[in-house]
Structure 1
Amino acid sequence: MTSVPGSSDPQAPVDDLVACPGCDLLHHRRHLLIGELARCERCGDILQSNKFDSVDRTLAAVLASIVLLLVSLCLPFLSLSRAGINSTISVLDAVSSLWFSDMLWLGTLTLAFIVLLPLTRLLLLAWVLGRIRFQRKIRRGMRMAFRWSIRMEPWAMADIFMVGVVVSLVKVSTLANLHTGLAFWSLLLLVGLSIFINLTLCKDTIWAVLTYKD
């Protein structure tokens, strides 16, 4: 991407100003070409971006992520065998085990951060990007939905869950034979797609459409 410096202009209208997320310096909002970035003239942080084909690429990744998340809930996550005894567990089995082991709050938090919040964020993004992609009428609720999808991003912790699983696998593998199921690989792909979504989603482009197309 091409980087261009931001331009500070204290006399500009409020709607035409953008604050630097790093140092809060106000800049005049610029019109960017596809592939350009606007950076703060003081600290160099990114102010604006205009990413290539952001809506189509992000929407495709969001829809694929929804499918992978649902698949990870329906299929076996891990299977364990030792001394002729086999056991298979899914993500929902792990949550229910916490519920029935007097750890209701931990099970609820696990379900929320691994399933409910990521799924809600993906559904909100799919709704907003889908209506933009197919040129549907912009509704007021779309702005709120997109705002909440951004706010929920740090709380969708499927990646943290997978790091914990990998650490546990290393420890348990010395005690029994472990086999990863399709749900494990689905969640692993979901983590990769989450990173891709963050890279391709151009928030400035989406906000511009939601703001100026009523």
Structure 2
Amino acid sequence: MHDTDIARADPAELIACPQCDALYRARMPEHGARAVCARCHTVLIAPKRRAGMTIIMLAAAVLVLVLGAVWFPFLKISRQGFVNEATLLDAAMSFTGGPLLVLSLAVTALIVLVPLARAVLTIYVLAPVVFDRPPPPGALRLFALSEALRPWSMAEIFALGCAVALVKVADLAQLSFGPAFWMFAALVFLTVIQDRWMCRWSVWHALEQGQAARRERAPA
């Protein structure tokens, strides 16, 4: 897009590449097609059929898996007749003394609370839109919050750390995985799938249209 076109264009019609900041006029491609940045080839818009319902179902599954991963045993360690089971919270809160308590709380927030919050926000924001209802109050702000939390959802980092730790202690004791371990592994996988399915520009566009329609119907 030329500089003169940018100056004349309505800002609401523009989309900026999140990687290289190139500006384009936003145009909704056909379902299954993608709008890609010509400079760095980042996908800008990628609508999919029934994507909203798929994302809601994935978010609901993430919600169930987070709660299950917290409740059920995560790992069982046995050595010389002694057996100990630990839940995911036990592993995250293993340092509870002194300044390390802050680290434990941060780990718990990043691997449990942030994915849980993002799943709840996604369902709250998208469910009315998918069922052809007006966006809920504060939908734009809450979706922005969910996007701001995305880099801080570090369940996969915790999973990699656990894998490294288990390799180191495998020769010292007998290890067995509990139901929470497999739930957590599924949680990491579904979170990645959900992020790949979501076309953020389409969500913003739908929410803004819904908010505009609500303002038009509101009495003067």
**TM-score if structure 2 supplies the norm length?**
0.88
For residues 98-137 of structure 1, the aligned pairs below 5 Å read 98-100=95-97, 103-137=100-134
Give the equivalent residue in structure 2 for 1:40.
37
Match of 1:178 among 151, 172, 175: 175
Deviation at 1:101, TM superposition (A): 6.9
Give the equivalent residue in structure 2 for 1:23.
20
Give the equivalent residue in structure 1 for 2:135.
138
Range moving further from structure 2, 23-32 or 148-157:
23-32
Give the equivalent residue in structure 1 for 2:208.
211
Show CA shifts across 1:28-69 (max 9, x none). 111311112112233333232212321011111110011011
* Unpaired segments ≥5 residues, structure 2: 212-220
Q: Which SS does the other structure have where 1:80 is aligned?
A: strand
In the alignment, does 2:155 pair up with 1:155?
no
In the alignment, does 2:95 pair up with 1:93?
no
Deviation at 1:191, TM superposition (A): 0.5
Deviation at 1:80, TM superposition (A): 0.5
In the alignment, does 2:54 pair up with 1:57?
yes
Please, what is the CA RMSD of the aligned residues? Answer: 1.6
Show CA shifts across 1:132-165 (max 9, x none). 2223322341111111111111101111000000
In the alignment, does 2:177 pair up with 1:164?
no
Distance, in Å, in 2 between the alignment partners of 1:42 and 1:85 is 60
Distance, in Å, in 2 between the alignment partners of 1:12 and 1:36 is 24
Distance, in Å, in 2 between the alignment partners of 1:105 and 1:168 is 21
Partner amino acid, structure 1, of 2:205: A
Pair 1:208–1:104, CA change in 2 (3 A): same
Pair 1:32–1:74, CA change in 2 (3 A): same
* Unpaired segments ≥5 residues, structure 1: 1-6
Show CA shifts across 1:80-121 (max 9, x none). 100110101011222443224762111111111111111111
Pair 1:52–1:172, CA change in 2 (3 A): same
**TM-score if structure 1 supplies the norm length?**
0.91
Structure 1 runs of 4+ aligned residues shifted over 4 Å read none
Distance, in Å, in 1 between the alignment partners of 2:40 and 2:163 is 38
Q: Which SS does the other structure have where 1:169 is aligned?
A: helix
Percent identity, please: 35
Distance, in Å, in 1 between the alignment partners of 2:100 and 2:51 is 42
Give the equivalent residue in structure 1 for 2:11.
14
Q: Which SS does the other structure have where 2:34 is aligned?
A: strand
Aligned residues: 208
